[in-house]
Amino acid sequence: MTREILIVTHPRRSVVRESARRVLDGLAAAGIAPRVLRDEAEVLDLTGAAVVPHDDDAAVGVELVMVLGGDGSLLRGAEFARRADVPLLGVNLGHVGFLAEAEPEALESTIDHVVRKDYTVEDRMTVDVTVRRHGRVAYTGWALNEMSLEKAERARMLECVLEIDGRPLSRWGCDGVICSTPTGSTAYAFSAGGPVMWPGVEALLVAPISAHALFARPLVLAPSATVAVEIVEPVPGILYCDGRRLAEVPPESRVEVVRGSRPVRLAVVHPLPFTDRLVAKFDLPVAGWRGRNGR
């Protein structure tokens, strides 16, 4: 049976075309059939790959989804990979690229690992999101990084009540509320003052955005927790899942967040301690470190 890999790119970036061409040629030379989304193939003028529609079935039957781009592109690739229950592999061609597994200079090595199936797979926790209004389900979604509920009117605060495991905790006048996974703790939740959580941690992180309240600290909850945010009149909200999928949330609505029923599977070809990843991505100062056996 022919091996197939879906290539997802950021088609508007000039650096992507050369990298995509190298990936397609490398896979084809190894007898692996690459797939490319139709809209991206047209923009990048890519040939030599099977062109598939940009729909829910784009990754069905592939071995993995390989993303060339930044974290935004990888989150887009995660949608295809999660639907097909296949691993996701990212090559960072963006800026920070926290979710990506490999940097541009390791592209050839990454292709070689893929060809040899020399990679491991780790599950990353997701969250499932449900919006209810007057007892009826108005929206369902999921996120790998975070769910963010934000005010829909720039000049007014969002009034909401936070509930944990069926009990009210606090009421906030705020710009919004974030519920994040450990993977998303270095993304939006980090900018809201939340802690960094190592990927091996299983927990939910709740962080208010610019809350006008005495008790407005980020919260780290058990992975089994149920988080709910109820919007008090009059300001409506907008819900974002990974900043990509959105829904309007009118007053008197209730947003519920729980651990996701299905994880996103990340392929790892260049194992690197998460501490080293933090140092590299945030350019953290470590001069003077000697280690346990240092002198």
Active site residues: 71
Taking residue 82's Cβ as centre, other Cβ atoms within 10 Å add up to: 21
The amino acid occupying position 226 is T
CA 245 to chain CA mean position, Å: 12
Check: CB of residue 220 under 8 Å from CB of residue 203: yes
Query: Which residue pairs from 45-48 have beta carbons closer than 8 angstroms and sit at least 24 positions apart in sequence?
Result: 45/17, 46/17, 46/20, 46/21, 48/24
With a CB cutoff of 8 Å and minimum separation 6, the contacts of 142 are: 82, 126, 127, 128, 129, 241, 260, 262
CB atoms within 10 A of CB 291: 6
How far apart, in Å, do the first and last CA atoms of the chain sit?
56
φ and ψ of 257, to 5 deg: -130, 130
Contact between residue 206 and residue 149 where contact means Cβ atoms under 8 Å apart:
no
Q: For residues 177 and 253, is the Cβ–Cβ distance under 8 A?
A: no
Its sign, for the CA torsion 279, 280, 285, 288, is: positive
Parallel, antiparallel, or unpaired for β 33-37 and 4-9? parallel
CA 143 → CA 48, 126, 263, distances in Å?
A: 33, 6, 10
